Structure 1
C-alpha cells in the first residue's frame, strides 16, 4: 500500500502530493520536482498518431493520455530512500535557478523541492548519497544550488554517484567546446561543480553504491545510463530512470522516446528489463510516471502489464 500525502510547503504554494512506500525499516518516497505536466505527445514519441492516442485510452491508467489535446501526462520524480544504514536520493530533478533557455518549463524555476524534503524531516546535510542514473538536465538539477561563490553541492555531506561512462561521454563534448551548453548547460552548472568540490564518485555500470543499493547497466537512452536496484528483506525496488517515459510503453513496446540517443539499444534495454522483472514481485519506481508511480510487472502472454500499487491518502 502506498500512502499519498499532501505536503504543505507554505509561501503561498499549493500542497504537493508525495507517495510514501514503507518496506520493513525502509521508507521510499516519490517527490515530484514537477508534478503532472501535460506534455505534447509527439514531442515525446514522434511516431504517435491521433488514432494511436484515441486507441491508447483503454491501455493506460486513466488521465495519463488526453487524445483530444494530444498530450501525455508526465512527472519529474526524485526518489528519497531512508534506511537504518543511509539516506539517499535517486536522481536530482530539474533544480532551481538554472538557465535553460531552450526548455521554458525548466528555466530559472523556483520550485519547493527542498521545502518538501524539510517537511519530510530531511535536511540537506542529512543526505548521505545522491545517485545520478544519467546526466540529462532533468535528472541532475538539484545536485547544486547557487552560493556566494557560484554553483555548489546542495547536499554538503553527500557522495554523488554517477556512471563513469556517462560522465566521460559528456566531458569529452565539454572539453571540445567548453563554452557550449552541453546538456542545456547542466554539465557546467550541475555536474562539474561536484568534481570541483571533490564529491563526485564515478563508478562502473554494475557497481555497489551502498549495502543493498547498486547500479545495473541500461544504456540506450543515454550513453552510460544505469538503473538502480534496492534490495531489502521485504522486497526489491528498481528505479528505472528513463528506461520508460510513459505507461503507454507497456502496451506499445516498440515506442522509443525522441530523447533516446540510440533507439535500438534503448528498445532492447527496455525489453530486457521488463522481461527480467516481470512476475518477480520487483517494485518499479519510474522517473516520469505520475502518481501512482510505484507498481509491479504482471507477466502475461503478450509480455508484461504494469499494475500500480494501491494508494491511500493522508495529510502532512
Structure 2
C-alpha cells in the first residue's frame, strides 16, 4: 500500500530512489556510536546497513489530494543535473515521472501546487527538466511555494559561497527557471494552503526550512521535510546531520515539532525515511520514542 487517507486528504508516496547514502559517523558526526548500536533492531535494514554502517535514506515526494487540488511536497534530486559534489546524483536518469503516473495516475500537467519545504538539492530537483537544452518547469500548471528565507539565502545575487557544496548549481537549474516562468510564490513565517494544510516555518536545517501541518477531521499529520534524516533522531533529538545550517536552532525546532506531533497524535512523514516511511511518535521522559509505523508498504 502506497496510499493512506487522513480526513479528507489522500496521501501517496512517490519514490525517486532509496539506498545507502553516507557512513553514519560522517552523516551524524556528533551522534554517539552507542546510540546506533542500542537501536540497531529498529534501524536495520531500512535505515542502516546491516554490515557497513551506512545510513539508508529515500528520495521521495508526498503527493496530496486536498480540496480538489493535486499537491506535491518536495521533488527529489532530478534528472540531468550537474552535481559535482555528489557523484551518485550527477546526471541521473530515473523514471520519477513514470512513478508519478504509475503510483498516482498523475501527469506533470495535472499538478496544481508544488511545495518545496526548503531549497536543498534533494528537494527541488524535479522542479525542472531539461527540454531542448533548456531548464523548464516540470509542472507547467503549478504554483511553486518556496520559503523566502531560503530563496534569498541561495540566490547567487546575494553571493552565497556554495562552490564545492551539495547545492552548487541548484539555484540556477532548479529554482531560477521556475521563478523566471512566473510560477514561484514566496512566503514567510506561515502560509495557509487550504482548509486542511498549512505551511509553518521550521528553521535550523536551512534558514527557510519548513513543514506542512495537516488537520482534517480528527486526523493530524506533519510533513516534516528534513526535520530528521534517520529514526534515531526520534530517540536522540538533540543530534543533527552534518547538513544542518544552524545546529542549535535545528535541535530546538526538532524538539518543538516532535512534541507537537506526540501531543496531537499526528502521523509524521519525513522526506527521507525509507521502509514504511511514516510513523507516530510519543513522549518518553525528556525525549521521544517511536509509537508505531504507518501501514505503508516497505520499498
Give the equivalent residue in structure 1 for 2:108: 124
Give the structure-1-normalised TM-score. Answer: 0.86
Hey, what does 2:180 align to over in structure 1?
A: 196
Q: What is residue 135 of structure 1 aligned with on the other side?
A: 119
Q: Greater shift after overlay, 86-95 or 300-309? A: 300-309
Which residue does 2:148 correspond to in 1?
Answer: 164
> Aligned partners of 1:158 and 1:114: how far apart in 2?
15
- Aligned equivalents of 2:252 and 2:123: distance in 1? 22
Report the CA distance shift for 1:138/1:275 in structure 2 as closer, same or farther (over 3 A): same
Look up the match of 2:128.
144
Structure-1 residue corresponding to 2:234? 250
Deviations 1:210-268 (A, max 9, x none): 33221111000001111111222251221101111100111222211100010000001
Deviation at 1:312, TM superposition (A): 6.5
Post-superposition offset of 1:22: 1.9
**Alignment partner, residue 4 of structure 2:** 21
Conserved? CA contact 2:237–2:287, under 8 Å? no
Equivalent of residue 43 in structure 1, options 26, 39, 61: 26
- What is the TM-score normalised by the length of structure 2? 0.91
The partner residue of 2:85 within 102, 123, 146 is 102
2:47–2:55 Cα contact (<8 Å) kept: yes
2:76 to 93, 97, 101: 93
Correspondence for 2:95? 112
Q: Does 2:56 match 1:73?
A: yes
CA contact (8 A) 1:132 1:140 kept: yes
2:249 aligned with 1:265, yes or no? yes
Residue matched to 1:9: none
In structure 2, list runs of 5 or more residues that go unmatched. none
Q: Structure 1, residues 169-196: CA drift from partner, whole Å, max 9, x if none?
A: 112x444379957822110000000111
Aligned counterparts, 1:233-248, within 5 A:
233-248=217-232
Cα offset, 1:65, TM superposition: 2.5
Q: Retained in 2: the 8 A contact 1:279–1:297?
A: no
> How many residues are matched?
296
Provide the alpha-carbon RMSD of the alignment.
Answer: 2.3
2:20–2:49 CA contact under 8 A, matched in 1: no
**Segments ≥4 residues shifted beyond 6 Å:** none
Contact 1:78/1:92 (8 A) holds in 2: yes
From the superposition, tell whether residues 228 and 68 of structure 1 become closer, same or farther in structure 2 (CA, over 3 Å). Answer: same
Gaps of at least 5 residues in structure 1 are 4-18
Shift of 1:276: 1.9
Shift, 1:53, TM fit: 2.9
1:154 aligns to 2:131 (yes or no): no
